[in-house]
Each structure stands twice: as structure tokens, then as C-alpha cells.
Chains A and B, each alone.
Chain A
Amino acid sequence: MHQSMKSFWAGVGAEFPLLVGVFPFGLIYGALALKSGLSAAAAQMMSAIVFAGSSQFVTAQLVHEAAPGLVIVLTIAVVNLRHMLYSASVAPYLKNLSMRWKTLLAYLLTDEAYAAAIIHYEEEELTPTSHWFFLGAGFSLWFTWQVSTALGIFLGAAIPESWPLDFALPLTFIAMVVPVLKDRPVIAAALSAGLVALLAFSLPYKLGLILAALIGITVGVLLEGRKSPQETP
């Protein structure tokens, strides 16, 4: 087998355990996006155009709440900010690639593809086919995300209207937040964001959400900054 193909399949193999975890997420996203009022076409295309799980869940929720478009776009930007960090982290390994490769790998740079690729880059020496490993990891995740979204849309259509399925989105968010509440700054960030969201609920255009998120993030950063060294976990 050609070396580049070997690298590609090694990337798929490294990504596989992550695919198992992502698949049910895609299913849930597909089903919930439909129940939030998105058309099947929009729900599916979002998985290709935005291609970032948590921001897609948030978008579905905001569409359900009839939030204005600009607020949704802003929220997507805030939720996906972390991708700049991934971009900075893999950039040195991609610097000799063509613009076409850089563009393709940037499109595929999700949480899960980053996790597999960065481990590979840090453990193995950079070889002429390393980018094929990244492509294998990224593309297999992309493919899994599209297929699981489609299946979720298909299954979601079968769920009776009377079920309070809109509640599954906040539940998904609870499942995402609770495990990261490990230290005081994070807990304070979550609580203050939640409280501000309650107080600012009546602000127009769902601006309360953006305000609450920004205050939560600020509280977290400030508390962490104040922390003395011996308190560091």
C-alpha cells in the first residue's frame, strides 16, 4: 500500500474510538434540530457548513426560541472560539503544506480530529505523509457526523409530537457542563452566567444570553487570576 494511504488509514484507526462517541451525538443533534423547527435540509446542511457539534446544538436551541439571526451568529462565534487555539497548536506541523491542504485540514479541524492529530504529531516525527493521517482522522469524523445527523433526522421524524422533546436540548447541555465543573473558577463562571441569564431574560433579541456568557467568562478569568499558586490543582 502507498505510504500516504497507510497514513490515512492509521488516522482513521486513531479516530475510531472517538467516532463511537460522536455517533450518538449526531443522532441526537439530527433528531433535536428537526424538533426545534429546522427543516431536514437545513439540519443536515448545518452539519456540513458549520460542522461543530456544540455550536449546532446551541443554534438549534436558539432557532427554537426564535432568537434573532445576529445573536445566533455571535453565539456560534463565541462557542467556536476554541478552534483558534487548535489552529495555533497544529499550525507549525502544517506550515510546509500547500494552501489547498491547509484549507482542507482547517475545514476538518474539529475537537475530535484535533485530539487525534496533535497526539500523532507530538509522538511521531513529522513525515512527508503526516498530513494524510490528519486527513484520515478528520475525514472519518466528518463522514460519521454527516451519516449520524441524517439518521437522527430520519428517526426524529418518527418521534410523536406530544413528547416534550425540546427539553432534551437543555438536558444535553447539562450533560456537557456538569462534568467540567471541577474547580471554583469554572463553577463560579457557570453559576454567574446562569444567574445573569435569569436576571437579563427580558432583554430584547436574546441579548441576555450573550451578556450572561461574557460575564460568566469574565468571572472565571478573574477568579483564576486571583488564585494563589498553592491552590492550583
Chain B
Amino acid sequence: MNIWLVMLLGGMITFGMRLSFIYLLGRFEVPETMRRALRFVPPAVLSAIVFPEVLMPSGKLDISLDNHRFLAGVIAVLVAWRTKNTLLTILAGMAALLFLQLLF
């Protein structure tokens, strides 16, 4: 699928969800299960992306010290946990990866 078509469809779906209840007011309510499920969406989707990126950078599971992205990812998790700062997390993780690549 062409990227423009992807964006158009993704945009229409997003807009449709934003308009949904504003448009349908009173006729439907958000189902309870969906309300409860929502807070798990970001951690689930983002972890599903992060784990393979960090733990299998070459397409195979690699939990060893030779996997620089694994080590840099662990450092990023620690920085994110301590500081809750997005920019600092990205900088620390990038610095760690560059440093490891330079050294080894």
C-alpha cells in the first residue's frame, strides 16, 4: 500500500474516532471493557515494538554483551525510570550506543 494511502486511511480512522461520540451523542456509550482496555494500549503496542528492536537487532534473539542495542536499551530504561524525561532518555540511549560502537 502506498504511504499516502496509509496516511489517508489512518487519518480518516483517527478523525472518525475523534468525531464518533461528539456526533452520536446520547445514542451510544463507551463499553466498559473498552474503557478499561485503553490504558493498556500504549504499553502493549510500544513494548511489542521495542522488544524485538532491542533484543533481536539482527533478526535473531541476542541477549549478550555483544548486543550493543540491548545494553543501550537497558541504560535508556534506567534513565527513563529515574528521570521520566523523554529527551534525556533518548540522549542517554543514543550516547550509550555510539560509545559502545566506537569502543567495540
Contact = CB atoms under 8 A, between A and B. Distances in A.
B48 A194 contact: yes
B45 A78 contact: yes
B43 to A, nearest CB: 4
B76 A174 contact: yes
Interface in B11-38: 11, 13-15, 17-26, 29-30, 33-38
Contacts of A38: 3
B41 A87 contact: no
A190 B44 contact: yes
B22 A82 contact: no
Contact of A79 (B6, B15, B21, B45): B45
Contacts of A88: 20-21, 29-30
Secondary structure at the B interface, as helix, strand, loop or mixed, is helix
A216 B50 CA distance: 13
A217 B22 contact: no
Nearest to A99: B23
Contacts of A214: 44
Interface size range of chain A in the complex: 35 or more
A55 B10 contact: yes
Given A107-B18, A221-B40, A58 B49 contact: yes
Interface stretch (A8-16, A140-148, A176-184): A176-184
> Which 4 A-B pairs give the minimum distances between C-beta atoms?
A69-B1, A216-B44, A220-B40, A194-B51
Interface of A: 24-25, 28, 38, 42, 45-46, 49-52, 54-55, 58-59, 61, 63, 68-70, 72-73, 75-88, 90-92, 94-95, 102-103, 105-107, 109, 163-165, 167-181, 185-186, 189-198, 201, 208-209, 212-217, 219-221, 224-225
